[in-house]
Amino acid sequence: MIRRRAISTALEAASHGRRARVARCIRTASTAASSDGGPSSSAAGAGRTGTTNPAPGPPKPNSPFTIFDRAAKQAQRSRAASRGEASRVTDYVRDEAAANLVERLYDVKRDFGTIVELGSGAGYIRKHLDAKRTGTSKIIMCDMSQEALDRDLDQDEKYPDLTFERRIIDEESLPFPENSIDCIVSSGTLHWTNDLPGALVQICRSLKPDGIFIGAICGGDTLFELRTSLQLAEQEREGGISPRISPMADSRDMVSLLGRAGFNIPTVDTDEIEVVYPGMYELMADLRDMGESNAVINRRPFLKRDTLVAASAIYPALHGNADGSVPATFSVIYMVGWKPDTSQRKPLERGTATKSMKEVLGGD
C-alpha cells in the first residue's frame, strides 16, 4: 500500500487539517477478449440497445445521447483552474493516472516525436515523462478550458527537452487530420463525453497506421461510497433520488468499445485508488477543485441542507474507518489500442502449429 499526503491550501489546512492517503490496489488485468458489459456509461448502454449516434461528434441538443452538460463541465474546469494552488493540490488522482499512462508508454519500444494529450488540463503527462527515453520533443496539450491549459504556463521552463502547443479542443470533436498522429494519450476526461464510442472512432481515425492510443478514465465503482450515501439520504429526506454521481463505464465494456472503434490488440486493466478524507465535506471540496463536480444534464440545481447533513452522517456509518475518516474510491480504467496496420503480427491459422503444447511444456 502506498501512502501519500495530499497537501491542502493554507486556509484548508488551518480549518480542517486535511490529510489524504492514496493507496494503489493490486492491478487486475483484463486482456483483449470480447465480452458483454454490465451497467456502464451512456455510450456502452446505447450500443446494447442497438442505437448509434448518426456520426462521430457531439450529439444534438435534446437527443437521447446527451447525458452530460458539456458547457457546465467547461465552466467547472475553468473555475477549478482559476483557484490556483487549491487546484494544484487536488491533482493527486490525475497525477497517479498520468504516471501509470507513462509506464505503459515506456513499454512501447519506439520513439514518439509528438504526443497529443487529450484532456491535458495544466499538463499531467509531462510531470512523469522522460522525453529522451521516448524520443519526444513536443506535446500538444488539448483541453476544452483555456484557464486549465494556462494554469501552469509558468512551469514550461522546467521541461527544457519539450516544447508545448496548447489548443482548445472538445474531445467530442477532434480537428486532427486522418492518419496524422503517432501517439494519443488521454489522461482522465473521456468519462465526461456524451458519445464515447464516437470519440474513440475519431481518435483511431487521427492516428497513423500502427499508431497507439493510451487512455485512462474513471469508471466502475468510482465514488460508490459517496453515491450510496447521497442516495440513501435523499430517499430518507426527500422520498426520491436524483443523479448526483455521473454514470460510469465498466472495464468489460471498454474492451468491446475499443474493438468497435477499429483498434487492434485492445488491452484494458483497472487500478483502484483509495483516498482517505477527514469527512464527506472535504471530499466534495476536493472534487470541486478538481473540476469533477456533477455535470449530468438533468441534475438538480442544489442539494438541500437536511439531505447534505444526513448524507454526512450516513457516509461514515456505512463506509467510515475506525479513526473517523472516510475513504473514497477512484476506479481508473486504463486502455491501450493500436490502429490496424499490415506490419502488425497476426495469429497463425488454426492447425498450422509445428509443435504441441505437450512438447513445449515438457510433459510426458
153-205 residue pLDDT tens: 999 999 999 999 999 999 999 999 999 999 999 988 899 999 899 999 999 99
Whether 233 has a pLDDT exceeding 80, the answer reads yes
How confident is the model at residue 61, as a pLDDT? 53
Task: Give the pLDDT of residue 60.
Answer: 60
Output 67 or 186, whichever has higher pLDDT.
Answer: 186
The DSSP annotation for 37-79 comes to --S--HHHHHHHTT---SSSSPPPTT-TT--B-HHHHHHHHHH
68 lies in a domain? yes
Would you say residue 59 has pLDDT above 80?
no
Structural domain count, the chain: 1
Distance between CA atoms of 165 and 184, rounded to whole angstroms?
14
What's the confidence (pLDDT) of residue 149? Answer: 95
Instruction: For residues 106-126, give the mean pLDDT.
Output: 94
Q: Is residue 1 part of a domain?
A: no
What pLDDT, on a 0 to 100 scale, did the predictor assign at position 26? 30
CA–CA gap between residue 104 and residue 258 (Å, rounded): 17
Q: What is the CATH number of the domain that holds 299?
A: 3.40.50.150
Whether 221 shows a pLDDT value over 70: the answer reads yes
What is the overall mean pLDDT for the chain?
82
* Per-residue confidence (pLDDT) for residue 56, from 0 to 100: 45
Q: Is the pLDDT of residue 133 over 90?
A: yes
DSSP state letter for 296: B
The DSSP symbol for 105 reads H
Does residue 249 contact residue 44 with C-beta atoms inside 8 Å? yes
3 within some domain: no
d(CA 315, CA 227): 9
pLDDT digits (tens, 9 = 90+) for 263-307: 998 999 999 999 999 999 999 999 999 999 988 888 887 888 999
Residue range 331-347, pLDDT digits in tens: 999 999 999 988 887 77
Which residues are 337's β-sheet partners?
A: 213
Structural domain for 138, as ranges: 10-361
> What gap in Å lies between CA 361 and CA 359, rounded to an integer?
6
